[in-house]
């Protein structure tokens, strides 16, 4: 079973429309929440008149900042870390376009929206902080703080690298804001009953949400139940509690009725935590042969107006050296408050930023030395005999073979022939570019996973896990693992997730941790069940447990035709006729600690053609060779790679959140915020190498973010190769490229 492309168990329910999403649920007596949002990016609220709204049809309550001033929402303010307090509704000022100003709870969503139009707010516009460099020296956005720099961290000797002799390349890499834009937006239904809060929410981490709620409401964890059904995508946007979700909890507690909020698409683009949002200045020093002597990067992060997981920012400098053996490294990381959306978690969370920066620097160095981009990488890769490799950036890489992986990519793509075809095309006047990128990422941030495997008296199996999928296929992968260990068909196995009252405690889904950590815990729990099942079978068959094999729904004495069925074993377990020393029942719960982070890696190649008259880019080929250790289900892995590649290409060519000079969001719909579509993407050519990790029993590494990490720099490098320039920035809009072409001609 392990390694087989088993069809997704989730798909029948999804295809037939019988899968239950949170939006499908409406408890009896549900009221609806709608939010009035600021039309200005920064303004003082002089007054709010809610009289007409309160008297509107169907309205139960209208809340303003004063009503929720004492309502705590996570995270807790921390003066030492320069983190201001968050409020469910704006207090005396709005800090970004779309900031929640007031909320209406009504019998229907339509009535709530109608009532919003009856609220009169008097705003006094204030100066806007939008530009990062301006924000560094501007008066502080948050009262009581000395500056707009939320944190300033550095490591290494920047001055020494600045003074170092050799071949030097310097540049700037912009990482513009991008929106997660999952198919399903955020949603919450809060309901209080008998002193217990039940929150149905589209989240990646039900137990963490329950913990945050317990702290905010000063309640024991046992008084909080969080339930999540099917989730239509997340990409990091549904990891923490949002202001609107907390308002459903507040309103339900105040009114004694269930309160439901459903995020609209414009609300999502306007207020969700944006990804990337960073600028990097790099300096790379090498010898005449192209071997890197030192690397330095200065990271400036646009945090937006409030806190959303600041700790994730440090991943970028810690992965800054990528796949290269660099002995001297210096970095600085500054987070800056602005009048924009909070910077949130987005697929890859820090690794795409590190990779795009170092990979652009490597191509810049290759161009400076007139070396092939593949050769400059070969000369600087960490070699296989250096693993486990202690990176000067801070992480210990578990395993890798970057050179072999790159050669597999070049062979699969026909790299030498591609270069010949490129030269011929250029002779014909066609603008062709070839870009490659090598990447390594870190996965498995939380150091253990949890799973419970429960066998019922009829032999059917329930697997309860602490992670939660948003389309990845967890129900299939975990069932596949249990099927392999117990020797029973997958249709006897049910995977349950997303309910804090039944699932084991854990950190949920993030950082591609699910299979490596929770999958390994599932396998270990299944092994415990299998060992007990073998003891029961051996006791009944008068054999040794070590001679029992589990396969095809049977326990067989090895080398004989003596068997007992799996169903009989389960029945015996619950009648209590178990071997001496064993208790009745057949189940196992495991919390399995990992032996460190795991580091997937790979190499991607892009071929593009640029239209010199319009500046438009057509992606002709995308080849990816990824290494995620042992693959449990290649079909699921390829699905993850397809999605990641599409998002990475989208970031390179189309996606970018934009604000105008007045601080207003100009990409609040899909007319303006351009997503990748199948018509703009080639058939992805996927291959893989396998370098197992010793950090978990499965030998598996993360795969969910790989495509989004390696594809962006490959596409950017291809366009820069086509134009012969090194200063293009994503997204590579036709206008930017058209101007670059005209500039080169002049």
Q: Are 582 and 496 members of one domain?
A: yes
CA torsion sign for 494, 498, 504, 509 is: positive
pLDDT of residue 78: 64
Residue 312 binned pLDDT confidence (cut-offs 50, 70, 90): confident
Report yes or no on 141 lying in a domain.
no
Q: Three-class SS of residue 109?
A: helix
Q: Are 523 and 624 members of one domain?
A: no
pLDDT of residue 676: 95
Q: d(Cα 463, Cα 479) in Å, to the nearest integer?
A: 8
| Backbone phi and psi for residue 388, each to the nearest 5 degrees, phi listed first | -65, 135
**pLDDT over 70, % of the chain:** 99
The per-residue b/e assignment along 679-715, b for 16 or more CB within 10 angstroms, e otherwise, is ebbeebebbbbebbbebbbbbbbbbbbbbbbbbbbbb
Q: d(Cα 36, Cα 319) in Å, to the nearest integer?
A: 40
Chosen domain end from 527, 558, 593: 593
- pLDDT one-digit tens code per residue, 551-586: 999 999 999 999 999 999 999 999 989 999 999 999
Q: Are 393 and 497 members of one domain?
A: no
Report yes or no on 74 lying in a domain.
yes
Report yes or no on 496 lying in a domain.
yes
- pLDDT one-digit tens code per residue, 182-241: 999 999 999 999 999 999 999 999 999 999 999 999 999 999 999 999 999 999 999 889
Q: Are 573 and 620 members of one domain?
A: no
Q: Are 678 and 708 members of one domain?
A: yes
The enclosing H or E element of 378 equals: helix 373-378
* Among candidate residues 207, 209, 210, the one with its CA nearest the CA of residue 196: 210
pLDDT, mean of residues 436-450: 94
Chosen domain end from 532, 565, 593: 593
- Asked if pLDDT for residue 425 goes beyond 80, the answer is yes
Report yes or no on 564 lying in a domain.
yes
pLDDT, mean of residues 342-355: 94
For 200, 443, 505, 695, the CA distances from 466, given in Å and listed in that order, are 16, 17, 6, 19
The enclosing H or E element of 741 equals: helix 734-745
- pLDDT one-digit tens code per residue, 157-176: 999 999 999 999 999 999 99
- Asked if pLDDT for residue 79 goes beyond 90, the answer is no
Report yes or no on 165 lying in a domain.
no
Residue 261 binned pLDDT confidence (cut-offs 50, 70, 90): very high
User: Which CATH number goes with the domain that contains 554?
Assistant: 3.30.365.10
Q: Are 386 and 496 members of one domain?
A: no
- Asked if pLDDT for residue 58 goes beyond 90, the answer is yes
Number of structural domains (the chain) is: 3
- Asked if pLDDT for residue 387 goes beyond 80, the answer is yes
Q: What is the full DSSP assignment across 323-352?
A: TB--S-EEEEEEEEE-SSPPB---TTTTHH
- pLDDT one-digit tens code per residue, 20-44: 999 999 999 999 999 999 999 999 9
8 A C-beta contact, residue 684 and residue 645: yes
Report yes or no on 517 lying in a domain.
yes
pLDDT of residue 490: 96
User: Which CATH number goes with the domain that contains 197?
Assistant: 3.90.1170.50
- Asked if pLDDT for residue 85 goes beyond 90, the answer is no
**pLDDT over 90, % of the chain:** 93
Chosen domain end from 593, 628, 653: 593
Q: d(Cα 158, Cα 448) in Å, to the nearest integer?
A: 36
Q: Are 384 and 462 members of one domain?
A: no
More confident residue, 80 or 387: 387
Q: Are 359 and 434 members of one domain?
A: yes
Q: Are 432 and 462 members of one domain?
A: no
Record the pTM. Answer: 0.96
Report yes or no on 76 lying in a domain.
yes
The encoded tokens of residue 672 equal 């303006």
Torsion of CA 23, 27, 30, 32, to 10 degrees: -10
Residue 74 binned pLDDT confidence (cut-offs 50, 70, 90): confident
pLDDT of residue 447: 85
- Asked if pLDDT for residue 314 goes beyond 70, the answer is yes
Residues in the chain: 746
pLDDT, mean of residues 688-709: 96
Q: Are 396 and 462 members of one domain?
A: no
Q: Which domain holds residue 30?
A: 11-126+186-231+238-271
8 A C-beta contact, residue 627 and residue 691: yes
Q: Are 192 and 213 members of one domain?
A: yes
Residue 592 binned pLDDT confidence (cut-offs 50, 70, 90): very high
Report yes or no on 699 lying in a domain.
yes
pLDDT of residue 77: 60
Q: Are 68 and 83 members of one domain?
A: yes
8 A C-beta contact, residue 700 and residue 512: no
Q: C-alpha 586: how far from its chain's center?
A: 36
pLDDT of residue 80: 64
């Amino acid at each position: 079973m392990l390694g087989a492309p088993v069809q997704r168990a989730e798909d029948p329910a999804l295809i037939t429309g019988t899968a239950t999403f949170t939006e499908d649920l409406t408890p009896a007596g549900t009221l609806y929440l709608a939010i009035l949002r600021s039309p200005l990016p920064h303004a003082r609220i002089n007054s709010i008149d809610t009289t007409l709204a309160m008297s509107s049809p169907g309205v139960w309550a209208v809340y303003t900042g004063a009503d929720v001033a004492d309502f705590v929402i996570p995270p807790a303010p921390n003066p030492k870390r320069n983190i201001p307090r968050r409020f469910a509704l704006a207090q005396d000022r709005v800090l970004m376009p779309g900031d929640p100003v007031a909320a209406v709870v009504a019998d229907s969503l339509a009535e709530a929206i109608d009532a919003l139009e009856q609220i009169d707010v008097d705003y006094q516009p204030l100066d806007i902080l939008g530009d990062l460099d301006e924000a560094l020296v501007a008066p502080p956005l948050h009262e009581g703080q000395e500056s707009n720099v939320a944190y300033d961290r550095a490591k290494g000797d920047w001055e020494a690298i600045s003074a170092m002799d050799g071949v030097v390349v310097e540049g700037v890499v912009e990482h513009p804001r991008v929106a997660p834009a999952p198919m399903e937006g955020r949603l919450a239904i809060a309901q209080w009953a008998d002193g217990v809060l039940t929150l149905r929410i589209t989240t990646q981490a039900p137990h963490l949400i329950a913990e945050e709620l317990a702290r905010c409401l000063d309640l024991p964890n046992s008084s909080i139940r969080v339930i999540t059904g099917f989730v239509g995508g997340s990409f990091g946007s549904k990891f923490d509690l949002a202001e609107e979700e907390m308002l459903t909890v507040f309103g339900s507690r105040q009114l004694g009725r269930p309160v439901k909020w459903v995020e609209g698409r414009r609300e999502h683009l306007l207020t969700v935590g944006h990804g990337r949002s960073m600028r990097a200045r790099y300096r790379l020093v090498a010898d005449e042969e192209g071997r890197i002597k030192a690397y330095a990067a200065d990271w400036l992060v646009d945090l937006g107006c409030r806190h959303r997981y600041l700790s994730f920012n440090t991943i970028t400098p810690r992965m800054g050296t990528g796949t290269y053996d660099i002995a001297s490294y210096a970095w600085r990381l500054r987070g800056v408050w602005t009048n924009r959306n909070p910077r949130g978690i987005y697929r890859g969370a820090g690794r795409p930023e590190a990779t795009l920066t170092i990979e652009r620097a490597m191509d810049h160095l290759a161009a400076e030395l007139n070396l092939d981009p593949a050769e400059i990488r070969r000369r600087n890769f960490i070699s296989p005999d250096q693993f486990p490799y202690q990176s000067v950036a801070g992480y210990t890489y578990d395993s890798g073979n970057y050179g072999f992986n790159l050669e597999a990519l070049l062979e699969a793509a026909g790299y030498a022939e591609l270069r010949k075809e490129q030269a011929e095309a250029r002779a014909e006047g066609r603008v062709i570019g070839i870009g490659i990128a090598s990447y390594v990422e870190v996965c498995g941030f939380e150091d253990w996973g949890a799973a419970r495997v429960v066998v019922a008296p009829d032999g059917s199996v329930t697997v309860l896990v602490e992670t939660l999928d948003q389309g990845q296929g967890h129900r299939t992968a975990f069932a596949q693992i249990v099927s392999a260990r117990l020797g029973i068909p997958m249709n006897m196995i049910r995977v349950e997730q997303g309910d804090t009252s039944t699932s084991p405690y854990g950190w949920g889904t993030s950082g591609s941790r699910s299979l490596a950590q929770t999958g390994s815990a599932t396998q270990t729990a299944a092994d415990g069940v299998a060992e007990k099942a073998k003891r029961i079978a051996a006791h009944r068959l008068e054999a040794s447990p070590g001679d029992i094999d589990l396969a095809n729904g049977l326990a067989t004495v090895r080398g004989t035709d003596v068997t007992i069925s799996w169903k009989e074993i389960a029945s015996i377990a619950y009648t209590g006729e178990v071997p001496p020393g064993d208790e009745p029942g057949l189940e196992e719960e495991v919390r399995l600690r990992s032996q460190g982070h795991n580091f997937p890696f790979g190499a991607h190649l892009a071929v593009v053609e640029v239209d010199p008259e319009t500046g438009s880019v057509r992606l002709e080929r995308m080849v990816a060779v990824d290494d995620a250790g042992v693959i449990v289900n290649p079909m699921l892995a390829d699905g993850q790679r397809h999605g990641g590649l599409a998002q990475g290409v989208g970031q390179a060519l189309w996606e970018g959140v934009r604000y105008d000079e007045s601080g207003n969001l100009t990409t609040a719909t899909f007319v303006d915020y351009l997503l990748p579509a199948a018509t703009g993407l080639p058939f992805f050519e996927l291959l893989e190498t396998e370098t197992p990790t010793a950090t978990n029993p499965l030998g598996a590494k993360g795969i969910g973010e790989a495509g989004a990490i390696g594809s962006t720099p490959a596409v950017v490098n291809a366009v820069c190769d086509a134009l012969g320039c090194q200063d293009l920035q994503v997204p590579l809009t036709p206008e930017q490229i058209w101007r670059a072409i005209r500039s080169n001609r002049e």
